[in-house]
């Protein structure tokens, strides 16, 4: 079983890295770009005998406690197959 966890800054938190990328793209002439925000994602493989229910719980706790900082970041878990 595979899952993807997406972690990004909360919308209210400044993202200087995304801002820098946006400025660089403007400098390269891509004026159509109105804004960029950067996040990270994790592709997680689970052992195939993990029941789906416990996989959802496990991934949620891993995303909340280990992969993201809940003070400034939000996360989203996508379970594939």
- Per CB under 8 A, residues contacting a copy of itself are 6, 8, 18, 21, 24-25, 28, 30-47, 50, 54-55, 58, 62, 66-67
Smaller CB separation from a copy of itself, 28 or 71:
28
Smaller CB separation from a copy of itself, 28 or 80:
28
CA–CA–CA angle 39, 21, 32 (5° rounding)? 105
Neighbouring residues of 44: CB distance < 8 A, sequence distance ≥ 6:
2, 3, 4, 5, 59, 62
Smaller CB separation from a copy of itself, 12 or 47:
47
CB of 30 to a copy of itself, least distance (A): 6
CB of 31 to a copy of itself, least distance (A): 8
Q: Count the Cβ atoms, other than its own, within 10 Å of residue 63.
A: 22
CB of 73 to a copy of itself, least distance (A): 13
Distance CA 8, CA 51 (A): 28
């Amino acid at each position: 079983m595979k899952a993807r966890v997406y972690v990004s800054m909360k919308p209210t938190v400044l993202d200087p890295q995304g801002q820098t990328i946006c400025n660089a793209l403007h400098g390269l002439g891509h004026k159509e770009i109105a804004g960029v925000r950067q996040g990270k994602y994790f592709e997680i493989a689970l052992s195939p005998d993990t029941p789906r229910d416990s996989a959802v719980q496990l991934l949620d706790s891993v995303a909340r406690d280990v992969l993201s900082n809940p003070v400034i970041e939000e996360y989203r878990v996508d379970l594939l197959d």
